[in-house]
């Protein structure tokens, strides 16, 4: 699974990587310990209605739309649109890629509301006896990347009671990360961003093909401080190795 992650990359590099332009309204702070039920940035497709010429014989089931990539702050922990209340989001920080197209909580979002979750590393805990030891997993060159995510809206915009939330998809661990956990977040190749974001593309098989383990030989892993265990801690010390703390 993925229960904590980081986004330490400077804002301008994030905007450039995701082709968002310099005018993205969301202010990005450096994050060293993003935790469930906190707000975090995601990249999603923002639809814009197209003005259609009036036609006497035109019959449309839904308006045509165009759009663009949007950087938005969403709460981590998906709340299905049909949920009676938003409390269940804490249990839905991850979605298994193998069943995401069929599970009632995720299938609508998988079809139309996919997103990219910017990150440059994540935390996974190794169970060793009674200890849970945090490890930081990132790319060999420490570059920015994106998890495959889904987003959902709960409540009504008109009443001011709308809540936008997201979840991160998981897959089998690769040969590097399997030593600490049997699952890992789905990391997408940059070339696949457009397909994943496209709300008009909903053919299950090609989308499922994207949800595979990222190659372990392109990643690295190291022990970090147990300071990261506390969700209130969000500073560089969370990622220091144990020997650096003494």
Question: Which residues participate in catalysis according to the annotation?
Answer: 2, 124
The contacts of residue 12 (CB under 8 Å, 6+ apart) are: 22
**CA torsion, points 52, 57, 61, 63, in degrees to nearest 10?**
0
Q: Edge-to-edge strands of the sheet including 31-34?
A: 31-34, 4-7, 121-128, 131-139, 219-223
Rounded to whole angstroms, the Cα distance separating 239 from 6 reads: 10
How many residues does this entry show for the chain?
A: 246
């Amino acid at each position: 699974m993925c229960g904590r992650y980081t986004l330490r990359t400077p804002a301008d590099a994030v905007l450039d990587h995701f082709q968002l332009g310099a005018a993205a309204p969301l202010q990005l702070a450096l994050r060293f310990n993003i935790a469930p039920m906190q707000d975090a940035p995601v990249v999603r497709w923002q639809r814009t209605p197209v003005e259609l010429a009036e036609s006497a014989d035109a019959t449309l089931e839904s308006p045509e739309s165009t759009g663009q990539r949007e950087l938005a702050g969403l709460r981590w922990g998906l709340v299905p649109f049909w949920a009676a209340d938003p409390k269940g989001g804490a249990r839905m920080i991850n979605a298994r890629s193998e069943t995401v197209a069929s599970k009632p909580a995720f299938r609508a979002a998988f079809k139309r509301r996919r997103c990219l979750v910017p990150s440059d590393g994540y935390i996974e805990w190794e169970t060793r006896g009674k200890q849970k030891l945090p490890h930081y997993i990132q790319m060999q060159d420490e570059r920015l990347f994106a998890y495959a995510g889904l987003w959902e809206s709960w409540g009504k915009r008109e009443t001011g009671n709308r809540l936008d939330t997201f979840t991160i998809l998981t897959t089998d661990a690769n040969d590097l990360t399997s030593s600490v956990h049997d699952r890992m977040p789905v990391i997408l190749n940059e070339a696949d961003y457009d397909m994943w974001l496209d709300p008009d593309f909903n053919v299950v098989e090609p989308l499922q093909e994207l949800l595979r383990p990222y190659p372990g030989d392109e990643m690295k892993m190291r022990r970090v401080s147990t300071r990261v265990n506390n969700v209130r801690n969000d500073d560089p010390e969370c990622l220091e190795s144990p020997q650096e703390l003494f």
